[in-house]
Amino acid sequence: KNQVEQSPQSLIILEGKNCTLQCNYTVSPFSNLRWYKQDTGRGPVSLTIMTFSENTKSNGRYTATLDADTKQSSLHITASQLSDSASYICVVTGGGNKLTFGTGTQLKVEL
Amino acid sequence: GAVVSQHPSRVICKSGTSVKIECRSLDFQATTMFWYRQFPKQSLMLMATSNEGSKATYEQGVEKDKFLINHASLTLSTLTVTSAHPEDSSFYICSAPASLGYVNEQFFGPGTRLTVL
């Protein structure tokens, strides 16, 4: 069964600190992996997308890594800001362009 | 990047009424769109795939007669929740794929919050 698991489920950090979110998947075949940011009451917004051959992808203060061998990905947020408070969702595209969503990590950045 | 809009953003209705939600791709054409439902603190759950000019494909457990989907044009898909009940209260999100170079990106709408009284 195709699954995407994320950890931690929730996280609270102080403004300015870094954090790393984890994503493990069992989706096969694998097409690509995306990280989305979803603000409360809004639709998800794409942060990064990585295909099988890509190990890392950056978008500003967001850096995603992918290890296709161990089927793991991480999203690193540098110098967090209050506006980073949101749910971060890992989504894996498998065969037939079918998306499998992770349950998300709820991040809260505090002063 | 491509933009997907949804209308309305919020709707409150009485039990038993029908509600229509629109999903539009604003600057690109989408022969396929996807409809999701999201309950509080849960991830998005795919409900159905909307196909332009043909019938929608529904995920297992989703009633096609309750959630009517119409994809009348290359830029518009509608989801109608018929005879809505309080348990249908949820956040409904659509998405549409668009090619960005060598990858197909999924662009999500801002969502529609449905509250059934």
DSSP string, A81-105: -GGG-EEEEEEEE-GGG-EEE---E
pLDDT tens digits, residue range A76-94? 999 999 999 999 999 999 8
In total, chain A counts a number of residues equal to 111
CB B66 within 8 A of CB B82: yes
Interchain pair B107, A46: CB under 8 A: yes
pLDDT tens digits, residue range B13-66? 999 999 999 999 998 899 999 999 999 888 899 999 999 988 999 999 999 999
Joined tokens for residue A97 = 């362009």
How confident is the model at residue A96, as a pLDDT? 75
Binning pLDDT at 50, 70 and 90, where does residue B100 land? low
Looking at chain B, the whole-number percentage of residues with pLDDT higher than 90 is 76
CB B58 within 8 A of CB B34: no
Per the prediction, chain A carries an average pLDDT of 94
Low-confidence spans in chain A with pLDDT less than 70: none
Among partner residues A42, A45, A104, which is closest to B43 by beta-carbon distance? A104
Nearest-CA distance from A82 to chain B in Å?
Answer: 20
Tell the residue number behind the tokens 């709820």, with chain if given. Answer: A106
How confident is the model at residue B105, as a pLDDT? 81
Interchain pair A99, B111: CB under 8 A: no
CB A72 within 8 A of CB A22: yes
Strand partners, B90: B114
Distance, first Cα to last Cα, chain B:
37
Per the prediction, chain B carries an average pLDDT of 92
DSSP string for B37-76: EE-TTS--EEEEEEETTS--EEPTT--TTTEEEEEEETTE
- Residue A43: name the closest of B104, B52, B23 by CA: B23
Does A24 contact B at CB distance below 8 Å? Answer: no
How confident is the model at residue B103, as a pLDDT? 67
